Amino acid sequence: MLTSNSYSLLSDLRRWAGRGLAALLLALFLASSLPAQTSKRSSANFATLSTQAERASQENRLDEAVALYGKALALRPSWPEGWWALGTLDYDRNAYQEAATAFQRAVALQPKAGSPRVMLGLCQFELGQDDAALKNIHEGRRLGLNPDPQFQKVMLYHQGTLLLRKGRFESAGEVFSELAEQGVNSEEADLGLGMSVLRILPRDLPGTDTPGRQVVLRAGKAESLAAQKKFEDAGPALQCPACRISGLP
């Protein structure tokens, strides 16, 4: 039989048990709401950092922009545009290894986008990783590129140079001709086209201000004009190839 003291004890136990249950439910509620609150703060911080990073980049404060993009990407590592922006900033600062790392992340997040893969290849070009660079540039072109004309010209020049280094003269000539068709008129591009035509590896290119180098330059200029369908201008440069090859004016 339960005494009055027993009833009092059971009542106290139920009361304290109820308080404990209430405390437990409150703790569970707070725990469940914590991730949401943390997520909101994280999103707000990310938005602030990404905006600040873009502004710093536009104002040419490159070091600050790199640091801000790094912080934003730490909060949201699945942000492909952020990796692209960080990679281009590092590339502009000649920090090619860091840029390559950023573009590798962008490629992993957007495997069907061509431009990040091309930029990875350009970084690898600067790092002396010719095989990987040529592969990524070729694959990037296949996937499709940023339509920016300057971007495409830079890509073509580097692809042509890589093909020359491999001794793939015909393919290199096609790439440099495409560059000429886009209206590029520079000594570097003409030399690339000249080496393609005369089958000269870049390491064997004659030194500056030598007759042999002028031969290569004139041959490339003639091919460049022909690629642009300026045949009348190309004609004089194509005359007497034996004389030019021998180094005679």
Are 236 and 219 a contacting pair, CB within 8 Å? no
Task: Please report, for the chain, how many H helices and E strands are present, in that order.
Answer: 12, 0
Q: What does the DSSP assignment read for 63-106?
A: HHHHHHHHHHHHH-TT-HHHHHHHHHHHHHTT-HHHHHHHHHHH
My answer on whether 100 and 186 are in the same domain is no
Domain boundary residue, one of 128, 145, 162: 145
Q: Does pLDDT of 239 surpass 90?
A: no
My answer on whether 138 and 49 are in the same domain is yes
pLDDT tens-digit series, residues 223-237: 999 888 876 655 555
Domain boundary residue, one of 90, 112, 145: 145
My answer on whether 225 and 173 are in the same domain is yes
My answer on whether 112 and 189 are in the same domain is no
- Host domain of residue 205: 147-249
CATH code, 59: 1.25.40.10
Helix H or strand E encompassing 23: helix 4-58
Instruction: Classify burial at 39, counting beta carbons within 10 Å of its beta carbon; exposed 0-12, middle 13-18, buried 19 or more.
Output: exposed
My answer on whether 135 and 153 are in the same domain is no
Residue 17 in domain: no
d(CA 148, CA 114): 13
pLDDT tens-digit series, residues 134-172: 999 999 999 998 888 999 999 999 999 999 999 999 999
pTM of the model: 0.76
